[in-house]
């Protein structure tokens, strides 16, 4: 705790937060929980994608990440292109000024060092580089905490990501694949640790009655068009994904199973609408989750979960529900392996409804055994995340009473 004469530590949180992605917001929530428990004296604010949402939901001051409000619209007219270009220059000044006001900036989780979904170098990779470069310039400690990384083919994006990671004060990753990817990209990862995804640190919401109907299956869908290198085939990939997922949902309904459709981002709504339209049955309903806590409640009430989005999977696994991943990136396979369900992955790019149904039935036969496995893995995960937060305090808050208490204890030890 900070003593009366010391200035409270100023902590910033940074990222595409409050922008409609539940996983990103869940990572923020986990870090805010840590700060409020371990560093209640810290003064916290955000530089983020959706400042209104963050300020309202998490009760912290928030500033818009981009000066130009049309940042994520495709610029085709000359005026829009010029405004976007000017915005990049203004953002360099705005980001530097914001970073300078802080002692510590935390980037909470998220796949900030990957391009597994479509991404332009001048979008978020540029913003992250500005953050990390400003931190180095002004002596502000920048921490990339439990982040995701993956090999990047696009050279400008790869360069920005590599330099961002090199300039950060602290790095930890949500899986070993991420650390390996950064090492391959030329970052010295010798002191970087791997911990479970930050969302596993969120509390499980209390069980609410009534639960879902008997036999309910949660199917988590995604507006999936492939990755950064799949732009030429994006529509074909999406069509195959939607067709295979729809056929799977229809097969469940024909077996008399209630199906609950889940999303993880606002952009997934059209996929839910398309499935509801194609499978016209009262057995298919859509959840309106606005947080990872809502998703955990939904998945906890289900017999089984089949999901695409990474944080849909995390919610289901944390809830201890047998889960099958429609895997769109190596991070999903790594997560399933960590939780003891490596055999239950199916490629999102090539959803084969018949084979998916086969895997689903095998999963359900082993349900009791897999629930026990998940209970054990969740206990281990909780301990590893405690270790993550202890390491974070040591790296970012060296002058707090937390450290003084340890030093005092050492002095008293004979």
Averaged confidence pLDDT in the chain: 90
pLDDT tens profile 341-373: 999 999 999 999 999 999 999 999 999 999 999
Distance CA 401, CA 168 (A): 24
pLDDT tens profile 40-96: 999 999 999 999 999 999 999 999 998 766 555 555 566 666 666 666 888 899 999
pLDDT of residue 313: 98
Confidence of residue 230 (pLDDT cuts 50, 70, 90): confident
**Where are the domains positioned within the chain?**
10-202+380-412, 217-365
Distance CA 404, CA 397 (A): 11
Residues forming beta bridges with residue 346, ordered by sequence position:
326
Distance CA 198, CA 382 (A): 10
Burial of 81 (0-12, 13-18, 19+ CB in 10 A): exposed
pLDDT of residue 82: 62
In this predicted structure, the answer to whether residue 178 has a pLDDT above a threshold of 50 is yes
Distance CA 411, CA 400 (A): 17
In this predicted structure, the answer to whether residue 403 has a pLDDT above a threshold of 60 is no
pLDDT of residue 78: 64
Residue 53, by phi and psi: left (phi above 0), alpha (psi -120 to 50) or beta? Answer: alpha
Distance CA 369, CA 367 (A): 6
Task: Indicate if the alpha-carbon torsion angle 53, 59, 64, 65 is positive or negative.
Answer: negative
Q: What is the mean pLDDT of residues 168-193?
A: 96
- Residue with token string 């990779």: 125
Domain 217-365 sits in CATH at: 3.40.50.2000
pLDDT of residue 108: 97
The two three-digit tokens of residue 162, written as one number? 């590599």
Q: What is the mean pLDDT of residues 163-173?
A: 97
In this predicted structure, the answer to whether residue 242 has a pLDDT above a threshold of 70 is yes
Confidence of residue 208 (pLDDT cuts 50, 70, 90): low
The angle subtended at Cα 118 by Cα 115 and Cα 123, nearest 5°, is: 80
Q: Which long-range contacts (CB under 8 A, 24 or more apart) does 31-36 make?
A: 31/106, 31/108, 31/109, 31/145, 31/198, 32/58, 32/60, 33/201, 33/202, 33/203, 34/201, 34/389, 34/392, 35/11
Question: Range with the lowest mean pLDDT among 205-214, 328-337, 376-385?
Answer: 205-214
Question: Range with the lowest mean pLDDT among 229-233, 240-244, 260-264, 369-373?
Answer: 229-233
Distance CA 312, CA 394 (A): 31
Buried b (16+ CB within 10 A) or exposed e, 168-205: bbbbbbbbebbbbbbeebebebeebebbbbbbbbbeee
pLDDT of residue 412: 35
Q: What is the mean pLDDT of residues 268-292?
A: 96
pLDDT of residue 305: 98
pLDDT of residue 406: 36
pLDDT of residue 304: 98
pLDDT of residue 371: 97
Confidence of residue 129 (pLDDT cuts 50, 70, 90): very high
* 10-202+380-412 and 217-365, same CATH topology: yes
In this predicted structure, the answer to whether residue 215 has a pLDDT above a threshold of 60 is yes
DSSP 73-131: SPP-SHHHHHHHHHHHHHHHHHHHHHHHT-SEEEEESSSTB--SS---TTTHHHHHHHH
pLDDT of residue 252: 98
pLDDT of residue 229: 74
pLDDT of residue 354: 96
Q: What is the mean pLDDT of residues 371-399?
A: 95
> Rg of the chain over CA atoms, in angstroms?
22
Higher pLDDT, 87 or 159: 159
Regarding beta strands 141-147 and 323-327, do their DSSP bridges make them parallel or antiparallel, or are they unpaired?
unpaired
In this predicted structure, the answer to whether residue 332 has a pLDDT above a threshold of 70 is yes
How is domain 10-202+380-412 classified at the CATH fold level? Rossmann fold (3.40.50)
What percent of the chain is predicted at pLDDT more than 70? 88
Q: What is the mean pLDDT of residues 158-173?
A: 96
Asked if 275 contacts 249 with a C-beta cutoff of 8 angstroms, the reply is yes
Higher pLDDT, 295 or 113: 295
What percent of the chain is predicted at pLDDT more than 90? 78
What phi, psi does 283 have (nearest 5°)?
-75, -15
């Amino acid at each position: 705790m900070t003593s009366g004469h010391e200035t409270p530590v100023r902590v910033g949180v940074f990222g595409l937060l409050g922008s409609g992605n539940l996983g990103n917001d869940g990572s923020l929530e986990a870090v805010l929980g840590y700060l409020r428990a371990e560093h209640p004296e810290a003064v916290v604010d955000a530089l983020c994608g959706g400042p209104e949402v963050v300020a309202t939901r998490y009760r912290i001051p928030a500033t818009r990440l981009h000066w130009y409000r049309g940042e994520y619209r495709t610029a085709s007219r000359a005026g829009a292109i010029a405004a976007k270009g000017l915005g990049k220059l203004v953002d360099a000044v705005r980001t530097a000024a914001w970073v300078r006001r802080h002692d510590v900036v935390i980037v909470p989780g998220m796949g900030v060092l990957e391009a597994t979904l479509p991404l332009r170098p001048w979008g978020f990779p540029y913003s992250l580089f500005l953050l990390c470069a400003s931190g180095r310039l002004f002596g502000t400690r920048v921490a990339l905490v439990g982040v995701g990384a993956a090999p990047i083919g696009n050279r400008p994006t790869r360069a920005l990501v590599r330099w961002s990671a090199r300039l950060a004060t602290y790095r930890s990753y949500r899986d070993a694949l991420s650390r390996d990817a950064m090492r391959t990209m030329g970052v010295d990862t010798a002191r970087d640790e791997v911990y479970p995804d930050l969302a596993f640190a969120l509390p499980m919401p209390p069980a609410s009655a009534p639960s879902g109907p008997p036999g309910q299956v949660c199917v988590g869908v995604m507006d999936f068009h492939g990755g950064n290198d799949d732009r030429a085939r994006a529509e074909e990939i999406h069509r195959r994904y939607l067709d295979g997922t729809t056929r799977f949902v229809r097969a469940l309904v024909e077996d008399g199973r209630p199906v609950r459709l889940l999303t993880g981002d606002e952009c997934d709504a059209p996929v839910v609408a398309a499935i509801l339209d194609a499978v016209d049955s009262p057995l298919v309903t859509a959840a309106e989750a606005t947080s990872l806590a809502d998703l955990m409640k939904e998945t906890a009430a289900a017999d089984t979960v089949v999901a695409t989005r990474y944080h849909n999977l995390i919610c289901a696994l944390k809830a201890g529900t047998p889960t099958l991943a429609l895997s769109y990136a190596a991070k999903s396979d790594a997560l399933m392996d960590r939780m003891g369900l490596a055999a239950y992955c199916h490629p999102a790019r090539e959803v084969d409804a018949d084979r998916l149904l086969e895997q689903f039935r095998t999963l359900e036969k082993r349900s009791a055994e897999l629930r026990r496995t998940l209970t054990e893995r969740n206990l281990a995960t909780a301990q590893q995340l405690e270790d993550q937060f202890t390491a974070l305090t040591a790296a970012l808050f060296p002058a707090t009473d937390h450290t003084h208490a340890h030093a005092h204890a050492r002095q008293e030890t004979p």
